[in-house]
Every structure is written in C-alpha cells, then in structure tokens.
Chain A
Amino acid sequence: MPFYLEIIISVSLLTGGVFLLVGSYGLVRLPDIYMRLHSPTKASTLGITGVLIASMFFQSHLKGFLSIQELLITLFLFITAPVAANMIAKTALHHSNKPAEKTQNQALMDTIRDRESPPSNSIK
C-alpha cells in the first residue's frame, strides 16, 4: 500500500474515532434528555462518516477500482439519524420528562406535547 494512502486512511480513521468518543462522552455528561439528544445524533454521525471514508479508500485500494458502496451507509445514516432523533424527542415529550432548570420557555412544553401552535405573546 502506498504511503500517502496510509496517511489518508489513518487521518480519517482517527478523526472518526475521536468524534465517536466525543459523542458518547456527551451522552454520559450532558444533564437532561433533550440536551443528550444532540451529541449522539451529530457527533456520532460525523464520526461514522470518517470511518466510512477510510473504509472506502481502503476497499478501493483492495479491489482496484473505485468502491462507493460505503457511501450508501453514510447516506442512509444521514437520512435516518434526524428522523430517529425526532422520534426520541417526541417520546420524551410524550412522557413529560423534565428538562434542566435553566431551559427557556418551559411553559411551551405542554403546547408542543398536544401539537398546538404556541400562543402569540408567550415567546420571550
């Protein structure tokens, strides 16, 4: 394997691994479920993209032609991660989970839960 290809694969693998670790660390450290939704759905998606790009370069070298089927998983995760996050947030709202103390506009949570439009003078 040529040296420049090894460098490209190593850099994207390391980027992906660090972002996956940061996403899972945020899942442990952040205070409430609405904040915890952010770190896995954003940082982990970026991390898995790095690993998939490294895998794409490696498989292209292995097979001898451009292998873009790894981009299929990336595309699938980019489509499904926001949908899954939205459904988890709806579940948390449905169960009336309490947000952290400093969250703004907490009075609007009931209107979101009942799928009503917010009253016009309540948004600060």
Chain B
Amino acid sequence: MLNITIIAVAICICIALILNLWRLLKGPTISDRILALDTMYINAIALILLYGIHARSSLYFEAAVLIAMLGFVSTAALCKYLLRGDIIE
C-alpha cells in the first residue's frame, strides 16, 4: 500500500512542479517569478523527502534541510535586491 501511495503523491508533486514552472515562465511580473521559484523549492523538498521514504534511507533528510535554508536565503536575497538595489547594505 505504501508503494502505491508514494507513486500517487509523486505524481501530485510533479504536476505541482509543472504548474509552478508554467507560472515561472509566463508570470507577468517579476514578483510572480520569485513566488513561483519559492514554491518550487518547497515542492522539491517534498519530492526529496518522498524519495527518502521510497529508498528507505535517512540520508536525504540532510539534502532537504539544505534546500530549505538555501530557498529562503535566495528568496530574501532576490527581494532585497529588487527592493533596495543592493543585498547587503
């Protein structure tokens, strides 16, 4: 049962990633693109954790932590650059 669930949830997350990619490519404003990138980071964390369950390994947790931190830092840096013209003032 767990294997079927993992495949179904992986399909859900892949559809979500494709929808995010569509918004990232189309997005009328630059804020839309940053938001789509931020959501893609969250979906990528979910996909990596799902693969960790599938592979029965606890190694992928570290990658998920790294992606979570880098995702927030990159979003904050992009927003700071657009707001102030500089990242570290």
Contacts and interface: CB of A to CB of B under 8 A. Distances in A.
Main secondary structure of the interface of B (DSSP, over half): helix
A58 B6 CA distance: 12
Interface string B32-53: 1011101100110110011011
Contacts of A17: 8-9, 12-13, 46
Contact of A24 (B6, B39, B45, B65): B39
A16 B46 contact: yes
In this complex, the member of A59, A87, A92 whose beta carbon has the largest number of chain B beta carbons within 10 angstroms is: A87
Contacts of A63: 58
A123 interface: no
Contact of A44 (B8, B12, B42, B72): B42
A109 interface: no
Contact of B31 (A33, A45, A55): A33
Contact of A37 (B16, B35, B45, B82): B35
A91 B46 contact: no
A40 B69 contact: no
B80 A16 contact: no
B79 A91 contact: yes
Contacts of A94: 82-83
- Interface SS majority for chain A: helix
B23 A27 contact: yes
B87 interface: no
B31 A95 contact: yes
B86 to A, nearest CB: 14
B2 A9 contact: yes
12 contacts: A10-B5, A14-B5, A17-B8, A21-B16, A44-B43, A55-B53, A55-B61, A69-B61, A87-B79, A87-B83, A95-B29, A95-B31
Interface of B: 1-2, 5-6, 8-9, 12-13, 15-17, 19-20, 22-23, 29-32, 34-36, 38-39, 42-43, 45-46, 49-50, 52-53, 56, 58, 61, 64-65, 68-69, 72, 75-76, 79-80, 82-83
